Each structure stands twice: as structure tokens, then as C-alpha cells.
A and B are shown apart, each in its own frame.
Chain A
Amino acid sequence: MSDTRTAAFPNVETTVLGADEIIINMGPQHPSTHGVLRVKLKLDGEKVVDSECIIGYLHRGVEKIAEHRSYQQFAPYVDRMDYVAAVSNGLGYCEAVEKLMGVEAPPRAKVIRTILTELQRIASHLLWLGTHALDIGALTPIFYCFREREEILKIFEKYCGARLTTHAFRIGGLQYEAYDELEKDVERFSKDLEHKIDEYEQLLTENRIWVGRTKGIGVLTAEDAIAMGATGPVLRASGVKWDIRKALPYAAYDQYEFEIPTGKNGDTYDRYLVRMEEMRQSRRICLQAIQNIPAGPIMARIGKVLKPPAGEVYHSIEAPKGELGYYVVSDGSTQPYRVRIRPPSFVNLQAFDLMVRGHLVADVVAIIGTIDIVLGEVDR
């Protein structure tokens, strides 16, 4: 309707002082592009006049591989997309195929899935916080964050033997029963985490330099965020109170109470605050979930060979980085006809150009950090 929304990239007024513009190439090997992102920046002095993201350096053709694997065989591949939140990836895929087949995981499996996914969200946010702070120059938080993330990875390891690319869930439920002290471990970790988050906030939230570096940087208005398809914390920091866990609940999220934190200004500082609060809420979900893990089977009755009836389904979950969607088309055979993965990082990264124009080189790094991308997922 309005012109600002229809233009893909609104022209931003820039002051060119008549000096030569430098074109600088950040990445694909650069300490703070979070992997192999390559950004071409056109600079006027240190001011960014134009930018272009060049991606694909980590493209592995996951969607093509899916068409040549059976439904179960493909499940471990999705862990390799957002490798810092493998559990969430797995959850999305398993639920999508379950939906396609018309089965539902048993309640016990759902609750355990919820717990592990929320832990994964905390782990992903911790990693984000550490690297983001490191990009802005705070050297210390990353080590504190890794200390806590380690505890989460230990829980994963105890549960399924893997730490990073876990392949924790199976289509139809779970492969492994929860180990004996799962509740205790999660409870201990969640209770600790409260003080630990306070600790991080003490280092950053009120720090003048931190506020100076993040407030007003990379502003994304709610309209722009929606137009650019941003989801997850990026969208919520712009003031849109939307979380798939509440809007279209999946797993066992409808049983638990939690808040959706939102920001006001849509700047880097708000995104920081939103993610910090999300960690607290995830912790809250974990604590509620371990109170009452229903007894019963952990696997739905599905056969060894999966042949979902022909048709298609789109299922999305709230991954730590935003909406992670799976669009699975079946032709009735044992292999998916088409699996489309809607990666949150990829779509959120699109807003980068909008956010970065007119800022300085130092802010480029802050903005890459605040979008929270994982190149494994951007490139797939």
C-alpha cells in the first residue's frame, strides 16, 4: 500500500563528501562474520554507504539430499544446519513429518522434547551473547557463557551421547528414555542459571560503553521487520509480540506459562534485552516441565518403514533464531518428494542491508552479531 513498504530497499540518503569511496570486503574469512559470511561494504570514510551480503560458501544442498534419503535417514542432516541449536532443528523436522503422517508423539515424549528444546534455546542464546559481546569488544562474557553452555551440553551428552549434533528426537517420539537424573540435572542447572544471567547483565546491561555501542544501532521498525520477514527475537525486539510457541503451539508448550518479551525500539540493545529475557523464560519453562513429566510410552506406533500418504505439510517451530519451517511434500513413497527448509537466519539476514546503512564499520560487526546468524543454516 504505502510506498515505503513496497520498495525492496528504500534509498537511504547518504552524505558523500566527494571523497573516493572504499570498497571493503569483509569475510568470508574474518574474525567476526560468524563463519563464512562475506559482506561487501562501500565506505565513505568509515560510514557504510552500501552493503551486499554474499552467501553460499557453506552450501551443501541439504534440500537435495533430503530427496534421496528416507524420512528417518534425513533427520540427522537437519542437525547440521543450525549446528548450535541442533535439537531445535530436529524437533521441527520430526514434528513436520509426524504431521504429514497424521501421528502424534506421546505426551511423555512431547514434554521431554520441550525440555531439551528449551535447554537448546538457552545454549544458543548463550553462544550468541558471548560472541556478540566479543564482537563489541567485551572479552570476558564469552567464557562465562561457555561455562553455562557446557552444563547444557553435558545434559545432552548424558541423554543421547552427543553434544552438538545430537539427533535427539525420532519421528514419532524419542529413541531414548530420559536418564534417571534428568530432572535433577535440569533443575540444578535452571536454578543456577538465574544468578548467572544476573552476572552477565551486571557486566553489560548498564555499562555505558555497551549501551552506547548498541542503543540506536541497527534500528528495525515493526513495519520493516514484518516486511523483511524477520522472525524470532529480531521481530520481537521491534515490538511485535509474536512467538510461535504461543501463536501456534507445538510440542507441549500449551501446558506451560511463560511471557513473550518484546522490545520497543528495535535496536541492537533491545534485541539484547529480549534474548536475555528469553533465557529467563526458557528457564521458567524447564522448571515447570520437570515438575510433571507424564509416564507412558515415548514412541508412537509407527512402522519401521515410513510411507506418509501423499500430500504436503508446512510446520514451523520457534527456533532460537526465529521461525524455522519445514515444508515437506510426500508422493507416498519412503523418501520425501521435496523438503523445503525455511531458515530463520537466512531470512533475518536479509534485513542486514536495511539495518546497516549509514552506520560505521564498527556497527557492521555489532549488527551481524545481533541478527544471530549461523552460516550453516543460511547456506544449508
Chain B
Amino acid sequence: MAPPAGEPRTPAAPAGAAAPPRPPAPPKESPPKPEPLENELVKRLKARFGDAIREAWVDRKQAILVVSTKRLRDIARYLRDEEKFDFLTDVTAVDWPKREQRFDVVLNLYSFRKNERLRLKAHAAEAESVPSVTDVWPTANWLEREVFDMFGIRFEGHPNLKRILLPDEWQGHPLRKDYDILTQDEAWVRENLGIQSGQ
């Protein structure tokens, strides 16, 4: 696992991508632009977790926090208990293969009390495992399994980390960018379905 201080502070845009191109028929208002987020919540978080809160910005009026992977579980617990983000809507991941830590693990939180959403991101390298939040929000169980299934990101502390949508013996993780859309685990298909895989 890379030390937290070593984590690159990449912006949201993928490495290598040029500045956002203008839409062909631009709407009247200017295109939404990410702007830094500095509200009370972020201040409180920074006071408590310091460096672990790496970035905070607003994109399309939606708050996004990038946090240290190592402290993800602590921050999640704090957000649930102190900040009342008691509902984990979704766990997913995005693959940026050109980045040093290629995966974004994305947690979408919601607070019933504040009627507010918050997006938590943690970066993870290829072989790096991410702390599981199943003991904070039990709903993360299947969601993290799906992320594991599709991206191969391991979640540490997950009670039952195995594939969920694909067969258990499947090789490869389809939602990685280097897994082509035509790729299949041909050995598995031949063995279990008795057909030559073919598109």
C-alpha cells in the first residue's frame, strides 16, 4: 500500500485528457465547472482528520470529497455517526488506467436529516486493498462484492468477498478499461456451456 502522503493529487479529469472540450451547441449558461468546496462540513472534517481529507470540490452542484484510502473506514464512521450521513446509496468504482493509483472507489452517501448527498472517493492502486465499510453500512456487502467482481478491487474486512454477478471461477474483471468489450473467459465458456465462445 502506498503511503498516504505519496498519493498523487490528480484532478477529476483523467490523466492525459485535454481541457474539457466545448459542447458543439453550447447551452446558454456556461458549462458546469468544478469549483472547490469549502463549507462547514469540510472544515469540521479537516479539523478532525487533517491530511486524510485530500480534496473537496463541487461538480454540478454535487459535493465530492477525496479521502485517504487508509482512513476511509474512520471517515465513513464519523460521517455516519456525527454528520448523520446514515444512508449509503451506492458503492462503485471508476478505472483510470493511466493514473498511478488507477481506481477511484466511489461511495455515494445520503443524509435523511439534512437531505443532502455527499460523494466520497478513495484512490486505490492495482494491488492495493481498500478498507471495507460493511461494518459501517451493511448494505455495502453486495455493492462491494460487485466492485470486486467488476474491477478486482479487494476490500479488506469484507465478510464474504467473492464474485456476485459473474461465475465464481471467471477470470478477469470486465469493467477494467483494459478488458475489451469482446473479451470473454473462453476457457470457462467452453467448459461450462460446451460452446466455443464466439461473437
Q: Do chains A and B touch in the complex (CB under 8 A)?
A: yes
Which residues of chain A have a CB within 8 Å of any CB of chain B? 1, 5-9, 55-56, 59, 61, 63-65, 67-68, 99-103, 226-229, 240, 242, 247-248, 300-314, 316, 323, 325, 327, 329, 331-332, 337-338, 340, 342, 346-347, 349-350, 379-380
Residue pair A312, B12 in contact (C-beta under 8 Å): yes
**CA gap between A342 and B41 in the complex, in Å:** 26
Residues of chain A within 8 A (CB-CB) of B142 are 346-347, 349-350
Residue pair B138, A313 in contact (C-beta under 8 Å): no
* Residue B81, interface by CB 8 Å: yes
CB distance from B158 to the nearest CB of A (A): 9
CB distance from B132 to the nearest CB of A (A): 10
Q: List 6 A-B contacts (CB under 8 A).
A: A7-B138, A59-B166, A102-B29, A311-B34, A327-B90, A331-B13
Residues of chain B within 8 A (CB-CB) of A99 are 60
Interface of A, secondary structure class, is loop
Which residues of chain B have a CB within 8 Å of any CB of chain A? 12-14, 17-18, 20-25, 27, 29, 31-34, 59-60, 62, 64, 81, 86-90, 92, 94-95, 106, 108, 112, 115, 117, 119, 134-139, 141-143, 150, 159, 163-167, 174-175, 179, 181
Give the residue of A310, A347, A350 whose beta carbon is less than 8 angstroms from that of B17: A310
Residue pair B27, A301 in contact (C-beta under 8 Å): yes
Residue pair B89, A342 in contact (C-beta under 8 Å): yes
CB distance from B84 to the nearest CB of A (A): 11
**CA gap between A83 and B164 in the complex, in Å:** 21
Residue pair A64, B174 in contact (C-beta under 8 Å): yes
Residue pair A228, B18 in contact (C-beta under 8 Å): no
Residue pair B59, A313 in contact (C-beta under 8 Å): yes
Residues of chain A within 8 A (CB-CB) of B143 are 229, 347
Residues of chain B within 8 A (CB-CB) of A379 are 165
**CA gap between A236 and B199 in the complex, in Å:** 44
CB distance from A355 to the nearest CB of B (A): 13
